[in-house]
């Protein structure tokens, strides 16, 4: 699986590290420390040294990308993971890296950036992206809703992921439009909770009452 996706891994790694180049270009203009975490009121509540912000975070995300790819490729049921799904998963980390840098750098350079808005757009798009592929995934130990009942029964897995796919896409759309409409972050938390709890409860229902 890694061998077949070597070019994609290299490309996604380069894109994940791209914020390093941007950080070097604006090095003298960036404050030290750099605001890297923000509360629900769009106020910075976490800071990192300039070195960590520019070099450490992109390198950490690149490590996450490679560890995730390695673990997925070593999954005992890796043959159940569609090559298309695996490829799409590889793009999640670079998208996070680029969007995060696209918000954090301008903020620290003195531009007005609504971090809650950026987070909402990122979360909504990511939920839609992942939800689109959940129904297509088959039983495995790394991608999907991995709870005892889905891992124990293939039909339980398929039905749970079919429902989760609809919920995640719908939830992502709600978060996107809610963010554009200026609804607070409480909405994002509530929708995300529904997206996690309902599929798990449904899987338990299938196991206990339907014998799946």
Q: CB within 8 A of 207, min separation 6: which ones? A: 149, 152, 153, 156
The pLDDT, as a whole number, for residue 108 is 94
**Of 128, 131, 13, 76, residue with least CA distance to 5:** 13
Three-state DSSP class for residue 210: coil
Q: What is the pLDDT of residue 72?
A: 86
- pLDDT score of 29: 95
Sign of CA dihedral 91, 187, 171, 144: positive
Residue 195 pLDDT: 93
Structure tokens at 125: 């798009």
Mean pLDDT of successive 10-residue segments in the chain (212 residues)?
81 96 95 89 88 95 93 83 80 90 93 86 88 88 90 94 95 92 83 93 93 82
Determine how β-strand 44-48 pairs with β-strand 34-38. Answer: antiparallel
Q: Is the dihedral of CA 27, 31, 35, 41 positive or negative?
A: negative
This model's pTM is above 0.85? no
Placement of tokens 């696209």 in the chain: 102
Measured distance CA(65)–CA(60) in Å, rounded: 9
């Amino acid at each position: 699986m890694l061998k077949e996706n070597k070019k994609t891994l290299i490309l996604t790694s380069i894109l994940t590290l791209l914020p390093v180049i941007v950080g070097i270009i604006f090095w003298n203009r960036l404050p030290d420390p750099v605001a890297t975490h923000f509360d629900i009121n769009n106020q910075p509540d976490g800071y990192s040294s300039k070195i960590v912000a520019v070099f450490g975070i992109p390198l950490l995300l690149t490590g996450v990308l490679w560890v995730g790819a390695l673990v997925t490729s070593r999954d005992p049921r890796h043959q159940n993971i569609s090559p298309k799904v695996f490829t799409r998963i590889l793009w999640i980390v670079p998208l996070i890296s680029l969007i995060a840098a696209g918000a954090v750098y301008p903020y620290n350079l003195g531009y007005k950036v609504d971090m809650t808005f950026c987070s909402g757009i990122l979360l909504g798009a990511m939920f839609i992206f992942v939800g689109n592929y959940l129904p297509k995934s088959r039983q495995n130990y790394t991608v999907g809703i991995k709870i005892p009942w889905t891992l124990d029964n293939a039909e339980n897995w398929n039905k749970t992921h079919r429902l989760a796919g609809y919920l995640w896409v719908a939830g992502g759309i709600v978060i996107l439009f809610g963010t554009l409409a200026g609804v607070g972050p409480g909405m994002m938390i509530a929708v995300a909770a529904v997206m996690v709890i309902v599929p798990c409860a449904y899987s338990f229902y299938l196991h206990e009452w339907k014998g799946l």
